Each structure stands twice: as structure tokens, then as C-alpha cells.
Chains A and B, each alone.
Chain A
Amino acid sequence: MKILVPVSKVPDTTSKVAFTDGNTKFATDNVTYILNPTDEWYSLVRALEIVEKEGGSVTVIHQGEADSEQFIRKALAIGATDAVRIDAPATDGYNVALNIAEYAKDKGFDLVITGKETIDYNGSQMGGMIAEMLNVPYVSLASSLEVAGGKATVSRDIEGGKEIVEVSMPCVISAQKGMAEQRIPNMKGIMSARTKPLTVVPALTETLTSIKVYDLPPAKTAVKLIDPENMDELINLLHVEAKVI
């Protein structure tokens, strides 16, 4: 079983979100970066579990410059077999998917497992794009994944429930909560990560979109406090002022 897991680096949730250059660039000063949680917790760990049972390898792939390597090493410390870095900053989703598909197309991966979305741009587009580029089935928003006999059985979210679907491998899956539990790298993992193979490959540059400008949502007005004895007032405000009931 050969599994490819794309991983992204993202600003930590507690980072201040601000912009520079006339609000055209994200301000990276004093921002702490982390591995994207749904990549690290769900797709990577489930890939490792499958390979621990079935045998095989887990390759992590990341698009970013040399300063991304500490995040790639973390994925290796958690247990990935080897890693690939696409040597370019991540621009639009299409470009990253294009580079991942370009790498994956002739490597014989059985599965590509992405995280549900990155917590910075919240695009949720990587899996579907890679699947279309590789012309393979795609199951999105999966909360469980089992493999047997060349087939993947997946539980995916639908409105108000879930459905169990089966697809042939190779295929692409996007993973979300329920798929696996976070793993903390141990000392042995951290030591071995230093010597695991990390290949650097060049990037294609084509993009379909770009961000022209950012802005911040309007400031929230101060909370209106309601007397806990007077829920009639709250209901009245929700009806008359907020107009939501």
C-alpha cells in the first residue's frame, strides 16, 4: 500500500490576522506556524494506521520554501516514511494541486489522503482537484476509511447524516474529525526523522486565481447583557431587533 499525504503549514489559530502592502499580503511578523491540524491529526495518522496493518509506505508532500522543512520533519517524526517538498511558495489551490498531481501521476500511489481543509484559507479544494487531475474517484469529508481487496470503504458526511460508500483504489479521500486521533511524536520518531529521505522537486507555476486584496470584518458591537431573570426580553430582542426568530 503506497499512500500520499499532502500537508500544509498554517498560522496557529491564535495568530493575529493582519495585512501589509496596502492589505495585499498577510503579515507574517510574529506569526507562529503549525502543521495544518486536519492534515496532521486525521489524514496523516489514518495513513500510518493503514500502513501499519497492511504494510507499505506513507509519503508526505508539501509545497513551500526551505523554511518549511521543520514542518515536514515533524510529519516524518510522527511516522511518515519519506517526504517531498515542491520548491515554491504555495499560491492558489489549483497550483498546489497541479504540483501534487504532477508528482503523483506516475508513482503508483494507491491512496491520496488530504485533510478536510487548511485553517488559513479554508478552501477544502485540494482533494477534488487532485482527483480530477489524476482521473480517479474522490470521496470528500470522510470520517472513517477502511481498505481491503483493492477497495476503500468510506463514511462521508451528507446533510443531516452520513453515507457509507465504496470506491476502487487508486482514489483520493479528504479526512475530517472521527478519522483518527492525534499522535504526538516520540523521541525515537524525532531522531529518525532527521535522516529520513526528503526529496526536493521543482514547481509548475500556473495559477487560475489570485487574491487582490484582504479586508477585516466589521468590528463586533459590544455585547448586550440581558438580566438572567428576564428571558422574555431576550426573546423579544431576537424577534424585534435581531429578527432571527
Chain B
Amino acid sequence: MSVIAYIESNNNRVKKTSLEAAYYAAQTAKLLGTEAIAIALGTHDAAELAALGQLGISKVLHDANPRFDSFDSGAVCKAIASLAANSSVVVLSYNQNGKAIAPRVSVRMKAGLVPGATALPETNGDFVVSKNVFSGKAIAHYQIKTDKKVIAITPNSLQIVRGEGSAAIESVSSGVTDADFTTVVKSVEKASGKVALTEAELVVSAGRGLKGPENWGMIEELANLMGAATACSRPVADVHWRPHEEHVGQTGFTIRPNLYIAVGISGAIQHLAGVNGSKTIVVVNTDPEAPFFKAADYGVVGDAFTVVPKLIESYKKFKASSH
């Protein structure tokens, strides 16, 4: 009864979120005394799949049907359930696609789902997986009561460790037919050259303290320099200073980067709900009483218009000295 990791690629590279799923599956397999097998659907790079061996995957089941290159939650679900029929645990990332797939797989396999796991399972006695609830204000330990389990892991919640090894690739057919594809992808819009917010390890965010959309140049400059994604608070998205794709918070995106730099954001509880899983939070605000300082690791009480340019200069110096 192996452990399955569902793998996605983007531009022939295995997604970082899928590397996390592979590592999580391998560690879970170790706890259960079994092997970890990956499932890859559609177009993937063979060397990338073989390299999953470094994370502890022994074998990759690859159904190269190109129809999988257009995402369809029903078809992917059917393929996973069919290829994982003899497995006990299915692990996948709770990224955008994972949120569409995991609940379907749970129903199809009658396997209890933990939607957004943040740590490896406890397997002594009950099978228990922890997950953040109440927007990160608490942790719930979910017991999965069924024999089969689906664990969808929150992106960026565990550090992968690479070892040696190469996974064997086995071409398979998942038994999915054309009739199983019910979603027609009409167009794809991707902001090129920008770091995807929900996958970013570093995020630079700004709010009303910037006074107007014309002042975002320095935020973008800092983000570009650092290889960070840009984000914003809800009021700023609501008045269209920034696109709503950048809105983080309770009704926007939830992110958990390694570093979140918040400039001119007071830190309303609804905003914190979307970012309090960040590993390190830096807050820049003129108001020393801003509630965000209570959630911050590092705080700078000062005017964004003088602090951010200084931060840019300091980062440039750091970059120059470390290369």
C-alpha cells in the first residue's frame, strides 16, 4: 500500500509545490514502511521526473496523454483514483489546481481529506494531520478515519531536503477517455516575468500609506531587485490603485512566503488573516501604534518615502557584496 504524490509541471519544470508533495509523500511512506510513487499526467520532462528520486520517490507513473495539458479537475481526479487504486495515501499540493482536484479525489476514493496540511502525519495509533484553521489563529489536528487518505499540503509549509537517487519512469494509461474531459480552456493570461504571488518566497506589499498608485514604482523596484512578488491590501485593490490579483487578506489571497514586507499597511485583522503564516514579517509604518507591529518580526517606524529608497540601496549593497 504505497503513498502517491501527484506531480505537476510548468514549462517542463516540476512545480516547486509538487516537489514539496513528492518530499512529503516520501517522508510519509517512510513512516508507514512503504514506498512513495509519483503520478504525472500530460507533458513532463523525463529528467525532471527522474530527479524526483532525490526526494525519495522510487517510481513515476506517467500518462503522457497531451489532453492533460489543459487542466480538467474531473479527468485528473479519475486518473489519480485509477492509478492510486492500490495505494493508501495520496499527497498533492493545495495550490490552485490542488484545490480543485483534492476534494474530488477524496469523494471518488472515499478517502478522508485534510485540506491544507502543514506538517507530516502522526502515524502511531490514529492517523492525524495538522492544519491551520481560523486563518492561522489556531491549529487543528485532523484524524482521518478512513483506510485511504488524501493529504493536500499548504504550499511553502515544509522545507524539502534532497538526497541521492533517480526515479524509474513507467509509461502507463490512466484509463481516462476523451469524454472525461469536460473543461475547454479558451485562453490563458500569464503575467510574464513576474513572480507568482501564491508561489513566491519573498513578497513586497503596500497599502494606503503610499497615498496613490503613482507611488508604487519604488515597491516594484524593490520587488524586482529581490525577485519578490508584489501584493497589496484590500482598500488599495478596492479603489483600483492595484489589480485585485494582488490583494492578500481574508477575502483575497492567503500566502505564506518566507518573507513578507508590508509598507504603509496598518495590519487590520482581515489583512493579517491572509499573511500571518509568513515565516518573517517586516512592517514599515509611520504610526508606531499600527496593529501590524504586534504581528511583525522586524519593524521600522518611519515614512515609506524615505525608508523604502534606503532599503533599496541597502539591498543593492548586500547583493553586490554577496556575489
Query: Which of A's residues lie within 8 Å of B, judged by CB?
Result: 11, 13-14, 17, 19, 37-38, 41, 92-94, 97, 119-129, 131-133, 137-141, 143, 153, 156-168, 174, 176-178, 207-217, 220-221, 223-226, 228-229, 231-232, 234-239, 242, 244-245
Contacts and interface: CB of A to CB of B under 8 A. Distances in A.
Contacts of A119: 134-135, 250, 273
A229 B303 CA distance: 11
A157 B270 CA distance: 21
Given A37-B250, A208-B146, A19 B138 contact: yes
Given A223-B293, A223-B294, A228-B300, A128 B96 contact: no
Nearest to B237: A177
Given A11-B134, A163-B187, A235-B314, A220 B295 contact: yes
Interface stretch (B21-29, B56-64, B111-119, B161-169): B111-119
Contacts of A168: 182
Q: Is the interface of B mostly helix, strand, loop or mixed?
A: mixed
Nearest to B100: A140
B100 A212 contact: no
Contacts of B116: 122-124
Interface string B298-322: 1111110011001101110110001
B213 interface: no
B15 A122 contact: no
Given A159-B96, A165-B184, A212-B142, A228 B273 contact: no
Contacts of B259: 238, 242, 244-245
Given A159-B10, A209-B112, A226-B298, A234 B135 contact: no
Contact of A212 (B143, B237, B282): B143
Interface string B120-138: 0000001010001111111
Contact of B99 (A11, A140, A216): A140
A128 B100 contact: yes
A209 B113 contact: yes
B103 interface: yes
Interface of B: 10, 15, 71-74, 77, 94-97, 99-104, 106-108, 110-116, 126, 128, 132-146, 182-191, 194-199, 201-202, 226, 237, 244-245, 247, 250-252, 254, 258-259, 269-270, 273, 279-280, 282-283, 293-303, 306-307, 310-311, 313-315, 317-318, 322
B104 A128 contact: yes
B45 to A, nearest CB: 18
A160 B155 CA distance: 14
Contacts of B96: 140-141, 156-159
Contacts of B187: 163-164
Nearest to A115: B251
A13 B137 CA distance: 10
A228 B302 contact: yes
Nearest to B243: A178
B96 to A, nearest CB: 5
B122 to A, nearest CB: 10
B74 to A, nearest CB: 6
Given A41-B251, A159-B196, A228-B300, A235 B106 contact: no
Contact of B244 (A37, A143, A211): A143
A35 B215 CA distance: 36
A112 to B, nearest CB: 13
18 contacts: A17-B134, A17-B137, A122-B115, A125-B99, A125-B115, A128-B100, A132-B77, A137-B182, A159-B10, A208-B110, A214-B133, A215-B139, A221-B297, A223-B296, A226-B300, A231-B315, A235-B317, A242-B297
Nearest to B278: A244
A125 B106 contact: yes
Given A159-B95, A163-B71, 14 more contacts: A11-B134, A37-B250, A122-B134, A124-B94, A127-B103, A128-B104, A137-B183, A164-B189, A166-B186, A228-B300, A234-B300, A235-B311, A244-B280, A245-B226
A207 B299 CA distance: 45
Given A93-B113, A235-B318, A217 B145 contact: no
A231 B311 CA distance: 5
Contacts of A242: 259, 279-280, 297-298
B102 A128 contact: yes
A67 B146 CA distance: 31
A214 B104 contact: no
A217 B137 contact: yes
Contact of B145 (A37, A141, A208): A208
